Amino acid sequence: MHDSKQPALFIPHGGGPCFFMDDPRGIWRGMEAYLRGIAATLPARPRAILVVSGHWETEGFAFTGAEHPALVYDYYNFPPHTYELRYDAPGDPTLAARATALFRDARLPASIDAARGLDHGVFIPLKVAFPDAAIPVVEMSIDRGLDPALHLAAGPALAPLRDEGVLIIGSGMSFHNMRGYGDPRFTAPSDAFDAWLTRAVEADADIRAAELTRWEDAPAARASHPREEHLIPLMVAAGASDRPGRSDYREQVLETAISGFRFS
């Protein structure tokens, strides 16, 4: 048992390598400050970090099992220096095996991918939040079926890890419509969806699970997520707690409401 139970978080990871590029308009500064401040809010330094990324989809769930995971530069048409960014955090094959066993005990499909590296939904925000790259990192995929109930069920399976010093992070975006960013016509719809999402997150766990399972019925749901792969990591983080969550961060970014959430 670890001395301090870690929370589960849902964080926005920004746009590509946005935090490591010139930002003359200050678009990403608030989000960067939020990410940079996460470590100071934790009860203790995590023993390891497990990140559920909206950028890795598999049949069933998978965990990275490499001792020294490579990086996957899965963003396109950015400045050359952003493809030279490094985040040399160690992997944690033991944690990957433990998580896989927990899933199998819960009758959830899970496997270990010893070759997979960390994609930008993982290494970009962690490079801001934990720049020393000293904490072991395991990435978890989302199931390509994108079933919210399945991902909510994954949370309780992972919950014991929180007592073992593992920080669980869902990495995505609370609004993810590429055509909507920077378009003022999406300000009101994104605000409506964000308000609904915040209410759902802050509800008691059973109500929260029911609401998130039916997220497509929310105001402006499909305007905010034409495809929900960036929302699905929230389901895992929410499922890892039986207590009401809370809004940890909210900001207008490129004319749209973006939030981060914490589950204690």
pLDDT per residue over 190-239, tens digit each?
999 999 999 999 999 999 999 999 999 999 999 999 999 999 999 999 99
Report CA-CA distances (Å) from 71 to 82, 116, 192: 12, 9, 36
Torsion sign across C-alpha atoms 181, 226, 241, 17 = negative
Residue 39 neighbours by CB distance under 10 Å:
15
Alpha-carbon distance of 150 to 146, in angstroms, equals: 8
Q: What is the pLDDT of residue 4?
A: 84
**160 alpha-carbon distance from chain centroid:** 18
Task: Identify the CA nearest to 146 among candidates 243, 211, 213, 221.
Answer: 213
Report CA-CA distances (Å) from 8 to 18, 21, 221, 253: 24, 28, 23, 23
Helix (H) or strand (E) holding 259: strand 256-263
Q: Phi/psi of residue 180, each to 5°?
A: -90, -25
Q: What is the pLDDT of residue 1?
A: 42
SS3 assignment, position 172: strand
pLDDT band at 3 (very low <50, low <70, confident <90, very high): low
Alpha helices in 58-204 (DSSP H): 93-105, 120-129, 148-158, 187-201
What's the residue count for the chain? 264
Note the pLDDT tens digit of each residue in 160-188. 999 999 999 999 999 999 999 999 999 99
Note the pLDDT tens digit of each residue in 16-70. 999 999 999 999 999 999 999 999 999 999 999 999 999 999 999 999 999 999 9
**Do 150 and 143 touch, CB atoms closer than 8 A?**
yes
Alpha-carbon distance of 224 to 138, in angstroms, equals: 28
How much is the CA Rg of the chain, to the nearest whole Å? 17
